[in-house]
Amino acid sequence: MTTKMSYENVYKLYGSKRVLNKLNLDVEEGEFLVILGPSGMGKSTLLRTTVGIEDITAGKIVLDGEDISKLPPNKRNIAMVFQNYALYPNMTVYQNINFPLKMAKFDKGEAKRKIEAIAETLKIGDVLERNINQLSGGQKQRVALARALVRDPKIFLLDEPLSNLDARVRFTARAELKKIQKELGHTFVYVTHDQTEAATLSDRVAVLRDGGIEQIGVYDEILNEPKSKWLGDFVGEYPMNFVDGDVLNNPGNIIGFRDHWTSDGKDLTGLVQLCTQEEDSFHVSCSVDGDNPGEDQDKEEVRPIIVKTSKRYEVGSKITFSLKRYNVYNPEGSLLRVVK
């Protein structure tokens, strides 16, 4: 694998606020990289500075060996799909897709051929002459994608392109997007706050926190071995459980485990607070004996431990379980070791 694009010590300041704070990141050729992070962590800013509609304050963005951070957007040869699609309302679908080609001074015949080919791939061949306001949400998303794909940019940036679609359309659009990216072999950088999108679309995931990369890797790796407590909290359908290290002979440290890492056993005991059924299993919220959440300075609120079980528990009853695996974090929240 070769490096397509790299960010080297990139800073972006708004006033004194560091939206990007010494960000370092390599994007590999042909990969589908998902930038995941809660809102306000600099995800969109990262894309906007990459494409050039905002300047970076310091650092370098290198694309194909060339520092592009001082170039204007139209000289960077990067395509981007905006969250709201930003389709030109005064043009037809065809004219929208044609616009980048027109700007690149493509031959008319060749442009037509390219547009028809991409329209075929994205199944929008029959709406090419329509106006933008006659399109459904899913069609708009495809047109925006087609406009990005039609020329041959070096890299594609997508800013939460599926967030405006309703759930059913989003599901198929996701599958299609992944398929197209693999077929065409393009490099995609995709920003989202949606865990499912990150899990299903990505080759790799980079989690953004406070303008820097907290961890980068395959989604499952981040899910199972998050490098920090914050990551364990943020990544995954349910946040990771954290208990005092004392309960498993790790005094002074913190134990982190996912809800489904529990097994039958008697290592931990607790009191059931709530039990909900989910298809063929139960989610039990409970406290854990020996855990002292009050000492945990990071916790803003006392959160119950959630474990997955195969049987129903009554509220107020006692629960005992063991852990198949767990992670040990130091009091500062960094991963010390993985215990399997």
Partner 1 sequence: MSTNRGKLGTYIAVIILSIIFIYPLWILIIYAFQPAYLTFDKLYPSQIPLAFTLSILVQSFKKVDLIGPLTRSLEVAFMVGLIAIGLGIPAGYGLSKITSKLSNKLVVFLFVINMMPGLVVAIPISIYFLHANLDNTVFGVALAQELVVLPLSVFITLSAFRSLPRDLEHQARVDGASLSSTFFRILIPMIRVPIIVAFLLAWMTSWDEFTYAVIIAPIVPTDSTFPVTLYNYVSRNLPLESATFALVATIPVIILAAVLQKYLKGQYLSGGLVG
Partner 2 sequence: MRKGAIKETEQNQEQFLARRNVFKKSMKKNLYYLLFALPVLIYVIGLAIIPAITVVYDSFIGRNGYTLANYMALPSYGLYGALINTMMVSVGALLIQLGIALAIAMVLIRPFKGKKAFSTLVIMPLGISTVVSAFVFSIIFQAVGGYANSALVSIGLRPIDWFNTNSSSLGVVMFSDFWKNTPLVALILYGGLSSLPPTLYEAASVDGAGAFNRFIHITLPNIAPIMSIALLVRGVSEFNIFALPLVIVGYHPLILNTLIFENYSSLQTRNISYAAATLLLAIIMIYSIIVVRLGGARDHVN
Site for partner 1 in 46-65 (CB under 8 A): 48, 51-53
Residues recorded for the chain: 340
Question: What contacts 24+ positions apart, CB below 8 Å, involve 99-103?
Answer: 99/147, 100/147, 100/150, 100/151, 101/150, 101/151, 103/74
Q: Where are the beta strands (DSSP E) in 160-245?
A: 188-192, 204-209, 212-217, 241-244
Question: Residue 270's beta-bridge partner residues?
Answer: 288, 319
Q: Binding of partner 1 at residue 152 (CB under 8 A)?
A: no
Residue 199: how many CB atoms within 10 A of its CB?
A: 18
Minimal distance, residue 223 CB to partner 2, in Å: 32
CA distance 314 to 256: 25
CA distance 262 to 323: 4
**Alpha-helical regions (H) of 225-271:** 229-234
Q: Binding of partner 1 at residue 175 (CB under 8 A)?
A: no
Q: Binding of partner 1 at residue 104 (CB under 8 A)?
A: yes
Residue (159 or 197) nearer to partner 1, CB? 159
Residue (56 or 288) nearer to partner 2, CB? 56
Q: Binding of partner 1 at residue 172 (CB under 8 A)?
A: no
Residue (21 or 131) nearer to partner 1, CB? 131
Minimal distance, residue 13 CB to partner 2, in Å: 5
Phi/psi of residue 196, each to 5°? -65, -40
Sheet containing strand 78-81, strands side by side: 78-81, 155-159, 188-192, 32-36, 204-209, 212-217
Q: Binding of partner 2 at residue 11 (CB under 8 A)?
A: yes
User: How many CA atoms, within 13 angstroms, populate the side-chain half-sphere of residue 241?
Assistant: 24
Q: Which of 1, 2, 16, 65 binds partner 2 (CB under 8 A)?
A: 16
Q: Binding of partner 2 at residue 53 (CB under 8 A)?
A: no
* Binding partner selected for residue 39 from partner 2, partner 1, none, CB under the kind-specific 5 to 8 Å limit: none
Phi/psi of residue 171, each to 5°? -60, -50
* Binding partner selected for residue 86 from partner 1, partner 2, none, CB under the kind-specific 5 to 8 Å limit: partner 1
Minimal distance, residue 293 CB to partner 1, in Å: 44
Q: Are strands 188-192 and 17-28 parallel, antiparallel or unpaired?
A: unpaired
Site for partner 1 in 255-294 (CB under 8 A): none
Q: Binding of partner 1 at residue 115 (CB under 8 A)?
A: no
Residue (100 or 138) nearer to partner 1, CB? 100
CA distance 235 to 232: 6
Q: Binding of partner 1 at residue 147 (CB under 8 A)?
A: yes
Q: Binding of partner 2 at residue 14 (CB under 8 A)?
A: yes
Minimal distance, residue 98 CB to partner 2, in Å: 29
* Binding partner selected for residue 14 from partner 1, partner 2, none, CB under the kind-specific 5 to 8 Å limit: partner 2
The SS3 of residue 334 is strand
Site for partner 2 in 225-284 (CB under 8 A): none
Number of shown-chain residues binding partner 1 (CB under 8 A): 24
CA distances from 162 to 15, 133, 139, 221 (A): 31, 18, 12, 25
Q: Binding of partner 2 at residue 72 (CB under 8 A)?
A: no
* Binding partner selected for residue 58 from partner 1, partner 2, none, CB under the kind-specific 5 to 8 Å limit: partner 2
Where do contacts with partner 2 occur on this chain (CB under 8 A)?
A: 9, 11, 13-16, 57-58
Where do contacts with partner 1 occur on this chain (CB under 8 A)?
A: 48, 51-53, 72-74, 77-80, 82-84, 86, 88-90, 99-100, 103-104, 147, 151
